[in-house]
Structure 1
């Protein structure tokens, strides 16, 4: 499991490290500003995938459903620094600063080219992990303003994302599930992202599909894996994580139960 270290004396930054392959589904309640130090991270979303390596900088929007696969590279573990842009801090910032409304933002990962301001900002965060006393609130506020100001200087459209404080509303359940079935997360998260309570989600799902959510998800993930193995000539151990399974053994046994033969037969 990935180790996430946040110094108890500050709540704005933490350090993530992993010395072996690790996969997780994430949906954060805050925007996260990330610098990859070493290793690599693959981010899989409903309509796009990204591959990040050492030196890359990205911004994860809040409430953004993504699967992340982190692994060591070139003999070095995966390491990253994460700076959290919490909603309450953003609200405080924008009560004091004028914002510029541009076109509606897209809920997708933002990727930034190398820039001296980004380099200096993330380097300045590293000593925070050695704090032995509480980071003064006025310094945390200054650091937050610095991070937001840098984003605004290199991304002229960022205000439309950072000033969107709305929560997910009720959306089409079939449309959402068809795009996001490969994400392995609790049903209450699926319910939340479609703007429903868990009981309403289960009722609406059964009305739409006439099957339980878990059974439908398993079938969809197996069909996805079958398609990629046959059409793209990939090996089972290269696709099971992206298909939403936690380990190769579980994937192989579920595949055989569903199709009547193990996935390796498709490779042969």
Structure 2
């Protein structure tokens, strides 16, 4: 039988085959091959009574390391401007993660009922880089219809820091408390980690996955030579550089740096690129 892994807890994997859910273990051969089943994997299973064994994991179209989920087609990157305050670097890291994995990313700013002064500046920066931005008040059902329209035919992941309302959005869609929602820590002004595991759920002819919130995200697995391709606004200037292997760092006659100087690329995005590049270059295995 063939199906998709919709949940994994404690070494057990829940595989949906048509309309039935099977609790499965994975063959030991996967450990020997250093391959672990992931949420979203399409698999072949054998059945013994009500339980099953994962016999084969089919090739993945995409693979996220954090959150750990396979075959995602798009990501809803959920943040807030207040409660918790917007972490610009973390937002940029999530965008890089999606770009590196060739995922369509849609930025969703929730809690728009809270007063803030950054909206226009952040929106202009993100939209000029080519990103779609949606504005939500999930608790009041504002903006959720636009989000719902994008789900059909996709495996969509909700990702972002804790406390921004990812689980609230999912619960609103499903009309029930599918995921536990949490409060904001008054002391740290950060969200409490409320989602304990990833799970796929059917909705609007698509599949959704809510994931644990993250207060940090490391990107040192991205090769330094590939980082520039995660910044889509660099694309139309890259061919104008003097050197074919230009990394837009310290090289002369760089068209990307000229575009930054001319205001065609936001300086904050370029500065984040340089910051990330230097972090990657300082990691063992990326030095030359």
TM-score after normalising by structure 1: 0.23
**Which is bigger in relative contact order (C-alpha 8 A, separation at least 6)?**
1
In terms of fraction of residues, the more strand-rich structure is 2
TM-score of the pair, normalised by structure 2: 0.22
